[in-house]
Structure 1
Amino acid sequence: MTKMKDVANKAGVSNATVSRILNGDITLSVSEETRKKVLETAESLNYKPTRKKANKEETEQKSYNIGLILTVSQEEEIIDPYFLSIRLGVESICRELPLNIARVLIVGKSKFLVEELNALDGVIVIGRVDVVDLQTIFQANHNVVLCDFDSKSGSFDVVISDFEQATEKIIDRLMALEHRNIAYLGGKAIIKTISNSGMQEIKDVRLEAFTRKMQDHDLYNEGNIYIDEWGPNGGYSSIKKMLEQTSKQTPFPTAIITASDPIAIGAMRALHEANIKVPEDVSIFSFDDIEAAAYLYPRLSTVKVHTEEMGKTAAKLLLDRLNGRVVPIKSVLQTDLIERESISRKRN
C-alpha cells in the first residue's frame, strides 16, 4: 500500500508538504508547479490517506466543517516548528474523523469574514488570541478549542502542556548538579487580537514558573532574565548581551534554561564563538525536543513536548463538543525530560 512518504520521495518534497497540499492548505507557500506535481504523484501512485475502518454507525455520522485559526505565519513555523507540529497533529487526525478543515486563517494576514467564520461548525485556535475579541467575531456557537493557550475564560476547551511542572523539574535537576547561578532565555508571549491585529504582551508560563521557583530558593536574579525572539536569532542575541554584562561582580551563569530548542541553537552558536564550552563551562536545558536537538554537539538536553498529540487532542475535544458536550474541558498533557550531554555537574 502506498504511503505518504512514497509520494513525498517521488515528488521530491517533505511529508509535511504532501500533507498540507493534499489537505488543501491555502497558507502553504509553494509554487503551483510543486502543488500540481504532488497531486499528480499522489494520483499516479493511487495514494489514499489512511482512515480508520468505520462501522455502520460511524459511516452515517455527520461530517463537520471546521476552521483552523493560526497565530504564526508559515515563515515563523519554519524558524520554530513547534506550532507546525501541532497543526500537523490536527490535520492528521481530522482525516480519520468526520472533521473537514474548510478554512485555515492566520491572524494578522488572513481576512476574517464574519459570515464565513460563523458558517463553520467549530474552530481550533493554535496559539494565543484575545478570546473576548474572538467571541465578537465567532458568535455561532461555543465550539472552540484553544490549543497551547489557557485563556482562563472558562468558556472554551483548552489543550496545553504542563510547562510549569517541567520548568520546576529542570531547575531541580540543575540544582542537584550544584548549579545556583541559572539564567533564563525566552521569547515574548503575545496575545493577538483578530479584529484589529492588536497585540498584548503577557508573561510566559515558563518564565513565571522559573521566577517563582528561583525566588523560593532565594536565587532569583532579574539580571539573569533575557527576553528576545523565539528563534535562533533570539538565543544568539541574548548570549551576546549576557557576555557584555559579565564581570567580576556579575559572573557568567553556570546553567541556562531556554524556552525553546531554536533559542538554544542560537545560544550554543554564540557560546561557541566566545569559546565557552557546553557543558564544561555552562549547562543548557531547553524545551520542545525538535528533531535537530538530538543532532547538535553536544546533544541538547530538552523537555519533550508532545505537540502532535496536542493537535490530535484538540480535534477530538472539538468533535466531542460537536456531538453534544457542553461542559468545557481543560486537557493538560504531561512532558518528559530528555537528559543528554548539554548538562553536567557544576565545575569549580
Structure 2
Amino acid sequence: MTTIKDVASKANVSTATVSRILSNDETLSVGEDTRKRVIETANLLNYKPARRKNCKSLEQSPNIGLVLTSSQEDEINDPYYLSIRLGIEMACEFYKLRINTIIRLNQDIDTNSLNELDGIIIVGSISDYAIQKIKKNKKEIVFVNFDPKLSGCDVVISDLASATERVLEHLMNLNHNQIGYIGGMEIIKDFKNNIESELDDIRKVTFQKIMHEKGLLINENVLISSDWGPNGGYQLMKEMVRKGNLPTAIVVASDPMAMGALRALHEANIKVPDDVSIFSFDDIESAAYLSPPLTTVKVYPDEMGKTAVKLLKDRINGRKVAIKTVLETDLVLRESCQYKKE
C-alpha cells in the first residue's frame, strides 16, 4: 500500500506538505507547480488517504498559528526561511498540532484570527508593538531566529556569535590578518511589512569586536546591505573591489550573498581562493556545488523549526518556565578558503 511518505519522497516535499495539499489546506503557502506535482504524484501512486478513526481526537488537537516576517519571495530567494517553516510543519504533524493560521507581515493582517489559537510561533525579527498586539490575543508564544529579550516567552536561535569567532580563528590560522566582512542588517518589521528599525546583525557585531581587540579592524572593509540575497552580495563585493586593497579573506553573512560575491569576483578576474578566501554562513544545498565549493557555517534552520514546535507543545501542556534554546553550528570546510602564502 502506498503511504504518504512514498508520495512525499517521490514529489520531493515533506509529508506535512503532502498532507496539507491533499486536504486542501488554504493556509499552506506553496507554489502552484509544487501543488500540482504533489497531486499528480499521489494519483500516479494511487495514494488513498487513510480515514481517521477518531475525528474527535483530531478536533481536539491544539490549533497554532505562524507569524512569518518573510514573504514567499524571501523563501524562494533564501532557503533558510523555507527550511524553518518546513521544520515547523514536519514537527506539527509529528506532535499532532494543527496549523490553523499563517500570517505574513507583508499581507493585510487581522489579529482577531489569533483569538482561538492555543499558541503562536513567530519566525523572524518583529517589533515590540506587533508583539504586544499578538500577546493580547494569546500568551503562549515561541520566537524563532529572533530574541526579543522578553520575559516569559520561549526563544530558539542559532549560536552565530560563537560561529563567527570560530570562522575568524580558522582564517587567522590560515595566515589571514586582512579580513573583510559583507553582510546585512537585522530588520525589525511591523505589521504591513513596515520596517520599524534596523539593528546590527550579531555576526557583524562579533566580527568587529574580535577584529578590534586584535587591532586588525578596518572599517572600510565592513560593508552592509539591506539585501541578504545574491544581488546584495554582488553589489557589496563590486564596491569592495572598486575600493582597491582587497582583503585576503572575506566573511560573508549568508550563502545567497556569497553567491553574488563570487560572481562579482569572477567578473573582476579575482580568483577564489588563490587571490581571496571566502567563508560564508548557512550551508544551503547549493553551497557545495558552487565554483569553488563554498566553505561555510552550517546552521540547522529545520531543527530550529522543530524545536520551536516542541517548546510550544510543552507550553500548551502547562510548562510555565520560559526556555531559551541556542542551537550549535558546524564549520563545513570546502575549497573557497586556503592558506595565505607570504
TM-score, scaled relative to structure 1: 0.88
Q: Corresponding residue for 1:275?
A: 269
Say if 2:183 and 2:257, in contact at 8 Å, map to a contact too. Answer: yes
Query: Using the alignment, how far apart are the partners of 2:144 and 2:67 within structure 1?
Result: 10
- Equivalences for residues 15-164 of structure 1 within 5 A: 15=13, 18=18, 21-22=21-22, 24=25, 26=27, 28=29, 30-31=31-32, 35=35, 38-39=38-39, 41-42=41-42, 45-46=46-47, 62-109=60-107, 111-164=108-161
Return the offset for 1:14.
4.2
- Deviation per CA, 1:60-93: give whole Å up to 9, x if none: 9951100011111111111111010011000001
- Superposition TM-score, scaled by structure 2 size: 0.89
Q: Which residue, 271, 286, 294 being the options, matches 2:288?
A: 294
Matched with 1:55 is none
**Percent identity, aligned pairs only?**
50
Counterparts of 1:322 and 1:227, CA distance in 2: 40
Q: CA deviation at 1:25?
A: 5.7
Supply the distance in 2 between the matched residues of 1:314 and 1:193 (Cα, whole angstroms). Answer: 22
The alignment partner of 1:188 has SS state of strand
Quick one: distance in 2 between partners of 1:207 and 1:20?
A: 39
> Which residue of 1 is the match for residue 172 of structure 2?
175
Task: Compute the displacement of 1:187 (Å).
Answer: 1.4
* Coordinate RMSD, CA, aligned: 2.5
CA distance in 2, matches of 1:47, 1:73: 33
- Structure 1 Cα separation of the partners of residues 339 and 34 of structure 2: 50
Q: Distance in 1 between matches of 2:40 and 2:193?
A: 40
How many Å apart are 1:297 and its aligned residue? 1.6
Partner of 1:218: 215
Q: Distance in 2 between matches of 1:260 and 1:285?
A: 9
Q: 1:294-347 CA distances to partner (integer Å, 9 max, x unpaired)?
A: 111211110110111100000000000000011111000000001111101112
* CA shift in 2, pair 1:196/1:172, >3 Å: closer
Which residue does 1:344 correspond to in 2?
338
| 1:263-288 Cα shifts (integer Å, max 9, x gaps) | 11111111111111111110011100
Unaligned residue ranges in structure 1 (runs of 5+): 50-58
Q: Name which of structure 1's ranges 16-25 and 284-293 shifts more when overlaid on structure 2.
A: 16-25
Shift of 1:108: 2.0
Deviation digits for residues 237-283 of structure 1, max 9, x if unmatched?
1111011111xxxx110001111101111111111111111111100
Say which SS state the counterpart of residue 130 (structure 2) adopts: helix
Q: Is the 8 A contact 1:117 1:138 kept in 2?
A: no
Q: Deviations over 1:139-195 (max 9, x none)?
A: 133210000001111231000000000000000000111111111111121011127
Output the CA distance in 1 between the equivalents of 2:81 and 2:5.
Answer: 21
Give the 3 Å change call, closer, same or farther, for CA 270–47 of structure 1 in structure 2.
farther
Which of the residues 278, 300, 310 maps onto 1:316? Answer: 310
The question of whether the paired residues in 2 share the 8 Å contact of 1:62 and 1:98 is answered with no
Deviates more, 1:166-175 or 1:14-23: 14-23
For the 8 Å contact 1:25–1:104, the answer to whether it is kept is no
What secondary structure is seen at the aligned counterpart in 1 of 2:237? Answer: helix
Cα offset, 1:136, TM superposition: 2.1
Greater shift, 258-267 or 111-120, is seen at 111-120
- Name 2:238's counterpart in structure 1: 240
After superposition, the Cα gap between the structure-2 partners of 1:340 and 1:25, relative to the gap in structure 1 and judged at 3 Å, is farther
Does the 8 Å CA contact 2:181/2:221 hold for their aligned counterparts? yes
Instruction: Output the CA distance in 1 between the equivalents of 2:142 and 2:275.
Output: 44
Output the CA distance in 1 between the equivalents of 2:3 and 2:240.
48
Q: Partner of 2:53 in structure 1?
A: none
Q: Which runs of 5+ in 2 are unaligned?
A: 51-56
